[in-house]
C-alpha cells in the first residue's frame, strides 16, 4: 500500500511566510510511524503549489498513492480540499484522510459537506492512522468503529469513534529523523495555559507531555548528520521544565553539536540560568507572546502575564545575547487607539529586536470562536465560504476595518521607528565566557540591518549606520568572522574603501582561510584601482566561484595580455569540466 502525506497550500498570501511554509512536525511523526511499520510513505510539501496544480497532478501520477493523508491547520483546509479533489480525479478508489488540528475541530463539517474526504483522524495521528491503514489493507466491509480517534461517514452520516487516549510515552514514537530530514523539532506536546485565541487548550486539554533529553538530542544529532545545522524548536513553550532544558543544553554543548536554533517560550518561563545555558547551546532567538500592552486586553485573551514578567524576560534574553522576538495581536475585543498607545509604550520599555503584529482571527477550537458562535448563533457552515479564517473585527460592530488597519500601521511604523534606538541600547551581560557569543549575536543582528529584512524596509531609518555600530561592537567582543566581512561590505557600499580594506585585512589576519574575506578585499582593491594587489589576492583563492573571472578583469585593466590569455584558457577548462 502506497501512502502520500501532504501539507496543503494556503489560499491567501502571508506577511510571514516562514511561519507556515514548513511541514508541521505531526506529519513527520505519522510518516515515521508508518515507515517503521513497513509502509511506503512519501511526504509532499504542497505549501508552494497553490498556483501549480499540474505539479500536484504530476506527483499523484508518479506516486500513484492508495491513501493520501492531509495535515490541516484550518487555514489551509481549502488547499487540502482542492488537492483531495485532484486525488479522486486521478484515482477514485484512493482513500483520502484529513488530520491535524484544523480537521480535528471541524470533522463533522468536513464529512458533511465534502464527499472527497473519507476519514478524519482526530487528535494525535500516529496510532490512529496506522490502525486505519491496517484496516484498509484488510478490505473489511464493516466500518472501523473500533479505531479510537477516527471519524467517517457511517450509513451516510458523519460519525466519530471514541476519543483516543494521548500517547503516554512520547519517546515510544518512532523517531522522525530516522526517516526524514527537517528543521522543526519539538520536545513537548501541549501547553498548560488557556489563551482564548489559541487552539492548544482544546486540543491538548492543557496537559503537557515531554520527550526525554536523550530523545530530543538524538533527533538533533541525526538531523545534524544529514546536514541540518539550524533548527526551529517549535514547542508551544520550550522551557516548561527548566531542568530538562538545561540537561538538553548540557548535552548539545558536551557533544559539540555546533548547531543554531530558535525557540518559543513564555515570559514567565525563563530565568538567567536557563537563558545562559540556552545561549551556550546555540539558541539565537526566543519568541514570546506579549499580545498587547493593555492589561485589560491581555486579560480578555486570558494571557496571564504581568508587565514586570514581560520586561524581565526581554531584558534578560537580550542580556544573554539572544534575540527576543515579540508577538503582538491587535484588532481584538476592546481594541482602541488608547490600547494601541499602551502597546507602543510597552514596546518602548521592553525594546524587542524583532516584532510580529497579527490581526486577531477566529478559528475553530478556540474559546473566542466558541464565544462568537454562542453570541451570534452562527454554525460551522460559515466555513463553506472559500475563506481561510475570519478576522475578529468582522464579528464586532464596535470595530471597523479602517480602524483596525490603522492600528496595525501605527504599531508597525511606531515599532520600526524605534528599532535603531533599541539596537543602540543593547545591554549585554559582562561575562568573558560569553564574549564570542555576544559578538556572534551582534553581527547577526547587524546583518539584518545591512543585508536582511531591516535593510530593505523603508520604515527603518539609519539602517547602515546601525549596522556599522553593531558590527564594530561585535568586534570589540571578539574577532567575529561575520562582523569583519559585513563591516567590510558596508564600508564598500558607503564608498569608504580605505576603511573597508583595513577591516578586511584585519579579518584575514584572524581568519586566514576565509574565501569571503579575501573576495571582499579583492573587490575593495579593485574599486581603488589597485589591480596588481587585487589580482594577487584573487590568485590566492582560485577556487572561489568568482575568482577567475575577476582575475581576467584585473589582467585586462593592467593590460597584461599574457596573464589574460592564461586565465582565459583556465576559465574555458573550468567551464568545460
Ligand atoms: S498562546 Fe501560547 S501560551 Fe497561550 S495557550 Fe497557546 S500555546 Fe499556550
- 164-181 per-position pLDDT tens digit: 999 999 999 999 999 999
- pLDDT score, position 34: 98
Q: Report how far apart, in Å, the C-alpha atoms of 102 and of each of 114, 157, 315, 341, 378 are.
A: 15, 20, 36, 34, 18
Closest of 140, 144, 112 to residue 129, by C-alpha: 144
Tell me the average pLDDT across 188-198: 95
Which residue reads 494556503 in cell numbers?
10
pLDDT at residue 393 tops 70: yes
- pLDDT score, position 13: 78
* Ligand 1 neighbourhood includes 289 CB (under 6 angstroms): yes
- pLDDT score, position 544: 86
Could you report the per-residue pLDDT of 92-149, keeping only the tens digit for each? Answer: 999 999 999 999 999 999 999 999 999 999 999 999 999 999 999 997 778 999 999 9
Tell me the average pLDDT across 254-283: 97
Which residue reads 583563492 in cell numbers?
541
Q: d(Cα 92, Cα 114) in Å, to the nearest integer?
A: 14
* Ligand 1 neighbourhood includes 200 CB (under 6 angstroms): yes
pLDDT at residue 18 tops 80: no
Nearest C-alpha to atom 2 of ligand 1 is from which residue? 236
- pLDDT band with cut points at 50, 70 and 90 for residue 570: confident
Determine the distance separating the centroid of ligand 1 and the alpha carbon of 344, expressed in angstroms.
22
Nearest C-alpha to atom 3 of ligand 1 is from which residue? 193
Listed range (16-30, 81-95, 228-242, 423-437) with the worst mean pLDDT:
16-30
3-state secondary structure 335-377: CCHHHHHHHHHHHHHHCCCEEEEEECEECCCCHHHHHHHHHHC
Mean pLDDT of the chain: 95
- pLDDT score, position 573: 81
Could you report the per-residue pLDDT of 328-381, keeping only the tens digit for each? Answer: 999 999 999 999 999 999 999 999 999 999 999 999 999 999 999 999 999 999
* Ligand 1 neighbourhood includes 190 CB (under 6 angstroms): no
- pLDDT score, position 15: 66
Q: d(Cα 493, Cα 485) in Å, to the nearest integer?
A: 12
Determine the distance separating the centroid of ligand 1 and the alpha carbon of 479, expressed in angstroms.
40
- pLDDT score, position 373: 95
* Ligand 1 neighbourhood includes 191 CB (under 6 angstroms): yes
Determine the distance separating the centroid of ligand 1 and the alpha carbon of 546, expressed in angstroms.
48
Beta bridge partners of 289: 327
Please give the span between the terminal C-alpha atoms of the chain, in angstroms, as a whole number: 44
Looking at the chain, the whole-number percentage of residues with pLDDT higher than 70 is 99
- pLDDT score, position 300: 95
Query: Is the pLDDT higher at 41 or at 577?
Result: 41
| 133 burial via Cβ count (<10 Å: 0-12, 13-18, 19+) | buried
Nearest C-alpha to atom 7 of ligand 1 is from which residue? 236
pLDDT at residue 226 tops 80: yes
Q: Which atom of ligand 1 is nearest to the CA of 201?
A: 5
- pLDDT band with cut points at 50, 70 and 90 for residue 383: very high
Which of 101, 199, 200, 305 gets mutated to test ligand 1 (max ligand atoms within 8 A of its CB)? 200
* Ligand 1 neighbourhood includes 131 CB (under 6 angstroms): no
- pLDDT band with cut points at 50, 70 and 90 for residue 16: low
pLDDT at residue 457 tops 70: yes
Looking at the chain, the whole-number percentage of residues with pLDDT higher than 90 is 92
Retrieve residue 177's grid coordinates. Answer: 529523523
DSSP string, 479-531: --HHHHHHHHHHHHHTT-HHHHHHHHHHHHHH-TT-HHHHHHHHHHHHHTT-H
- pLDDT band with cut points at 50, 70 and 90 for residue 20: confident
Nearest C-alpha to atom 4 of ligand 1 is from which residue? 195
Q: Judge contact between 107 and 122, C-beta under 8 A.
A: yes
Amino acid at each position: 500500500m502506497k501512502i502520500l502525506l501532504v501539507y496543503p497550500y494556503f489560499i491567501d498570501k502571508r506577511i510571514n511566510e516562514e511561519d507556515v511554509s514548513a511541514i508541521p512536525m505531526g506529519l513527520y511523526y505519522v510518516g515515521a510511524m508508518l515507515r517503521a511499520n513497513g509502509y511506503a510513505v512519501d511526504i509532499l510539501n504542497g505549501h508552494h503549489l497553490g498556483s501549480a496544480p499540474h505539479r500536484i497532478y504530476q506527483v499523484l501520477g508518479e506516486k500513484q498513492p492508495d491513501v493520501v493523508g492531509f495535515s490541516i491547520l484550518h487555514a489551509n483546509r481549502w488547499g487540502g480540499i482542492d488537492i483531495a479533489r485532484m486525488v479522486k480525479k486521478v484515482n477514485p478508489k484512493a482513500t483520502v484522510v484529513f488530520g491535524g488540528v484544523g480537521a480535528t475541530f471541524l470533522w463533522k463539517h468536513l464529512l458533511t459537506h465534502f464527499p472527497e474526504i473519507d476519514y478524519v483522524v482526530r487528535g494525535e495521528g500516529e496510532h490512529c492512522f496506522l490502525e486505519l491503514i491496517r484496516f484498509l489493507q484488510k478490505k473489511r466491509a464493516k466500518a472501523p468503529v473500533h479505531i479510537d480517534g477516527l471519524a467517517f461517514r457511517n450509513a451516510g452520516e458523519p460519525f466519530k469513534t471514541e476519543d483516543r487516549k494521548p500517547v503516554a510515552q512520547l519517546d515510544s514514537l518512532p523517531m522522525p529523523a530516522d526517516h526524514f530530514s527537517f528543521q522543526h523539532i519539538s520536545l513537548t506536546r501541549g501547553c498548560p495555559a488557556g489563551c482564548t485565541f489559541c487552539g492548544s487548550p482544546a486540543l491538548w486539554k492543557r496537559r503537557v507531555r515531554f520527550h526525554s533529553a536523550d530523545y530530543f538530542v538524538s533527533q538533533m544529532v541525526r538531523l545534524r548528520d544529514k546536514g541540518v545545522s539550524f533548527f526551529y524548536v517549535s514547542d508551544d513553550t520550550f522551557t516548561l521544565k527548566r531542568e530538562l532544558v538545561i540537561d538538553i543544553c548540557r548535552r548539545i554543548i558536551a557533544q559539540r553539536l555546533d548547531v543554531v536554533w530558535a525557540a518559543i517560550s513564555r515570559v514567565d518561563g525563563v530565568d538567567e540560568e536557563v537563558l545562559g545555558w540556552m545561549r551556550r547551546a546555540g539558541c539565537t532567538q526566543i519568541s514570546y507572546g506579549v499580545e498587547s500592552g493593555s492589561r485589560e486586553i491581555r486579560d480578555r485573551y486570558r494571557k496571564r502575564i504581568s508587565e514586570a514578567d514581560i520586561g524581565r524576560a526581554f531584558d534578560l534574553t537580550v542580556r544573554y545575547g539572544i534575540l527576543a522576538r515579540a508577538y503582538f495581536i491587535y484588532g481584538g475585543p476592546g481594541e482602541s487607539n488608547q490600547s494601541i498607545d499602551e502597546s507602543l509604550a510597552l514596546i518602548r520599555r521592553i525594546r524587542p529586536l524583532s516584532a510580529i503584529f497579527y490581526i486577531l482571527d477566529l478559528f475553530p477550537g478556540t474559546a473566542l470562536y466558541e464565544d462568537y458562535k454562542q453570541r451570534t448563533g452562527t454554525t460551522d457552515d460559515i466555513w463553506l465560504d472559500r475563506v481561510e479564517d475570519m478576522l475578529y473585527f468582522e464579528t464586532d460592530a464596535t470595530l471597523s476595518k479602517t480602524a483596525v488597519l490603522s492600528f496595525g500601521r501605527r504599531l508597525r511604523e511606531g515599532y520600526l521607528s524605534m528599532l535603531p534606538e533599541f539596537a543602540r541600547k543593547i545591554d549585554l551581560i559582562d561575562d568573558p565566557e560569553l564574549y564570542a557569543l555576544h559578538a556572534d549575536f551582534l553581527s547577526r543582528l547587524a546583518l539584518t540591518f545591512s543585508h536582511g529584512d531591516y535593510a530593505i524596509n523603508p520604515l527603518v531609518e539609519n539602517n547602515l549606520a546601525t549596522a556599522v555600530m553593531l558590527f564594530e561592537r561585535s568586534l570589540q567582543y571578539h574577532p567575529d568572522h561575520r562582523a569583519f566581512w559585513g563591516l567590510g561590505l558596508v564600508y564598500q557600499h558607503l564608498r569608504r574603501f580605505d576603511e573597508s580594506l583595513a577591516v578586511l585585512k584585519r579579518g584575514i589576519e584572524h581568519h586566514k582561510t576565509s574565501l569571503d574575506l579575501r573576495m571582499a578585499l579583492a573587490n575593495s582593491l579593485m574599486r581603488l584601482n589597485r589591480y596588481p594587489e587585487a589580482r594577487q589576492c584573487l590568485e590566492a583563492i582560485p577556487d572561489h566561484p568568482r575568482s577567475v573571472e575577476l582575475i581576467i578583469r584585473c589582467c585586462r585593466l593592467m593590460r597584461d595580455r599574457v596573464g589574460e590569455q592564461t586565465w582565459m584558457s583556465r576559465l574555458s577548462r573550468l567551464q568545460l569540466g
